[in-house]
Amino acid sequence: MKTAKLIIGIISIVLSFLVLFQSCAAGIGDAIVDEGGTSGSSGMVVGIIMLISGIVAIATRTSRGGAIFCTVLYAIAGLLGINSNGIFKDLIVWGVLCLIFAAIFFVSVIKNSGTSNSPDTAGQIQGDKK
């Protein structure tokens, strides 16, 4: 799972720049249309959350707490992306991708929750081998 977290982190960082660029263009489109659209600013928030989650995913590949943090951030970004698309219809795609990343991190948290070795059990395991 450490490799998957690394790959997701790298993909998330690279795609966050694309989302940020598209959000700037959508914000300009929202300003030109002048109908009160918020897809540009919502896309900026999704892009920033993706960037933060990607950095945290890479930095805390072996930590369960980092995976939980990334799960929450990706879920927030996904829900925000799906619910506030406006003229920026690609925001739905990025929102679904964030929800997929959240699901992967959630599965990694659930899968690794039963394999934690506390110092007490590690000593018992080593003592049993002697």
pLDDT digits (tens, 9 = 90+) for 82-124: 888 677 778 889 999 999 999 999 998 888 776 555 454 445 5
Q: Tokens 């899968």 belong to which residue?
A: 111
What is the spatial distance between Cα 106 and Cα 130, in angstroms, rounded to a whole number? 37
Please give the Cα distance from 40 to 107 (Å, whole number).
31
pTM of the model: 0.79
Helix (H, G, I), strand (E, B) or coil at 114: coil
CA atoms within 13 A on the CB side of 44: 8
User: What's the first-to-final CA gap in the chain, in angstroms?
Assistant: 31
Per residue in 18-46, pLDDT (tens digit) is 999 988 887 887 778 777 777 778 889 99
